Chain A
Amino acid sequence: MSTAVIRTWRTVRSSRAATIGLAIVAVHVVVALLAPLLTSYAPTVGDSSLALLGPGADHWAGTDQYGRDVLTRVLYGGRYALGVSAAATLLTVALGTVLGCAAALRGGRLDDALMRVLDAVLSVPSILALLVIVTALGSGPWVIVLAIAVVYVPQVTRVVRGAALAVVPADYVTAARARGEGIWPILRREVLPNITDVVCVEFAMRASWVVLLISSLSFLGFGANPPTPDWGLMVAENRTAITVVPMAGLAPIIALATLVVGLNLAADGLSKAWGVDRIREGS
């Protein structure tokens, strides 16, 4: 296990894009964790006499219409975005990997039926599916994690299945089958180690889309509930006053864009270092 970790670390170090990308993401994680130490304001409490101030010495990014410090809300906003995205991406990639490997290993009827159902799920626009699920089950963070998984598992499954299909005909898999090993041990010991690169790239890439989707959902008013500090929600709230305090709208935009650029750089760098065709996998 430790050799695998060292090898991964070397790959990351060898790619400048991946290093920069992961560094940006790491900064976002640290800032979100240390938010209470970095600011003395509370993210959800405002002073209405100080509403819509421009950037100044007390409020570096100005205040919103309720007099809340925008920078504080941006710092805390990373917690919701990163927490929900990380949970959603983990669940999505884990489910997709298991389904994709199972489809590739079993083949035949199960494979056909699974792919057909996933195709049908893909044909419904993801925003509509998300809206229906969130309306049905409420907009708690766990519901959003679940909804994202429903929407994105089909695509992950397809990618992983494609990668696993290249491994399944290999002699060592046939040998494992001949030894009479079950589907789980084969999956864990023979198939998974050989598609780790694809799964890792898929994880980074999927994470960038999940962050975008979650922020869009919040922007539309179906994600984080006010007064939760969340970037998508903040853009929606501060958009109306964008001519008065442009910084209040721009700050969450910058935070969101840098996080996603970081994730995209990491995905690009890793895919290049491992030779995974990311752009084609993404289609």
Chain B
Amino acid sequence: MFTFIARRVVSALGTLLLSSVLVFLAVQALPGDVATQVLGKDATPSAVAALREKLSLDQPAWERYTEWVKGAVHGDFGASLVSGKAVGGEVGQYLGNSLLIALVTVLFAVTGSLVLGIVAGLYRDRWPDHLISTASLVGMSVPEFVVATVLVLAFSVALPLFPAVVLYGPGATTGQLLPAVWLPAASLAIVMAAYIVRMARTSVIDVMASEYVTTARLKGLSSWRVVTRHALPSALLPTLHVIALNVAWLIGGVAVVENVFNYPGIGKLMLSSVQNRDLPVIQAIALISAVVYVLCNLAADLGAMALNPKLRTRGGRAR
């Protein structure tokens, strides 16, 4: 079991290292000299040269890469080219605001979609299933910005319950942001839930058809007990991976939704830093997203191991 965990952690670290190289190379490929970009077209050559030296652009790429990784491990991502502030602190502030949305989204999407998916699976081919399956098909088929626009139309124009845009900057307190969290979170949760519902439904149907569930039924157990004790643990197993992938997807999904609501989160920072060619910020966001993705997958694998004894004893791979 320990060799399995160790192997899984090492491969996660390898993936992270490789993605850091990719991120660095991709950002380097952005056209235009950063120093001229920052100082403007009328900058004197000596000023450009001085800035290049300050940003260590005069050093070879691999040296800058090792410097960057060394700093990143200690939480130092350099200084933003636009605001001049430390990237670590700035990204952290926006990330905290996004975390608020992500928390609410995951909470509602995961619990809600698991319940709906299980209900659909248990009532297979009857009206609750048809209703839930159709709703999830529609949920899969509309992009986040459409859900967000419709929600604004319904809950801040027709029924003025929630604000349509956020008027605060990144430094807003949780209390100020809280009323604005619900609509973005709902938009993301609807899109995210659609996938989890489908997965949960399929795995419940698979498990309910299995022989050990039939045995449990024949033993005379109540259907509530059959479902909660025998069917659910195995049905949750394949769903875990979908949930993990969706949580990792959130960090990209928020980019669109936060822009609809002008919410000061990581997605908005991502968009503005791409527009301003703020390379240190782009690199930091990409690296943090990669860490989130790798951690989510690691958590899903370890969770699968906790739910499925077979994976523990064989010490083999999850698949």
A residues with a Cβ closer than 8 A to B are 116-117, 119-129, 131-133, 135-136, 208, 212, 215-216, 219-220, 232, 235-236, 239, 242-243, 246, 249, 253, 256-257, 260-261, 263-265, 268, 277, 279-280, 282-283
Contact = CB atoms under 8 A, between A and B. Distances in A.
Contacts of A208: 140-141
A3 B196 CA distance: 38
B255 A123 contact: no
Given A128-B285, A216-B143, A119 B15 contact: yes
Counting from the closest, the 5 A-B pairs by CB-CB distance are: A125-B252, A120-B18, A260-B141, A120-B19, A123-B290
Contact of B241 (A121, A125, A219, A283): A283
A129 B41 CA distance: 28
A264 to B, nearest CB: 5
A136 B149 contact: no
B157 interface: yes
Contact of B289 (A116, A128, A131, A133): A128
A257 B153 contact: no
B251 A256 contact: no
Interface stretch (B59-67, B73-81, B216-224, B269-277): B269-277
B142 A253 contact: yes
Interface string B231-270: 0000000100110010011011101100100000000001
A261 B137 CA distance: 7
B142 A120 contact: no
Contacts of A256: 142-143, 146
Contacts, number: 136
A132 B149 contact: no
Contacts of A265: 137
7 contacts: A120-B22, A120-B290, A121-B22, A124-B293, A128-B255, A135-B277, A283-B238
A110 to B, nearest CB: 16
A124 B146 contact: no
Nearest to A249: B149
Given A216-B143, A279-B198, A242 B274 contact: no
Contact of A280 (B26, B238, B249, B277): B238
B149 to A, nearest CB: 6
Interface core residue of B16, B138, B141, B259 (most chain A CB under 10 Å): B141
Interface residues of B, number: 55
A281 to B, nearest CB: 11
B30 A136 contact: yes
Interface in B175-212: 195, 198-199, 202
Contacts of B282: 128, 132
B171 interface: no
Contacts of B153: 242, 246
Contacts of A125: 249, 251-252, 255, 286, 289, 293
Given A125-B255, A128-B286, A216 B145 contact: yes
Nearest to B134: A261
Contacts of A242: 149, 152-153, 157
Nearest to A283: B242
Given A136-B29, A246-B153, A257 B289 contact: no
A117 B289 CA distance: 16
Nearest to A155: B245
A232 B149 CA distance: 12
A175 to B, nearest CB: 27
A132 B274 contact: yes
A23 B162 CA distance: 40
Contact of A123 (B26, B146, B199, B294): B294
Interface string B135-171: 0011011111110011011000100000000000000
Given A220-B271, A261-B137, 11 more contacts: A120-B22, A127-B255, A128-B255, A128-B282, A136-B29, A208-B140, A216-B145, A219-B256, A220-B255, A253-B150, A283-B199
A224 B222 CA distance: 58
A116 B30 contact: no
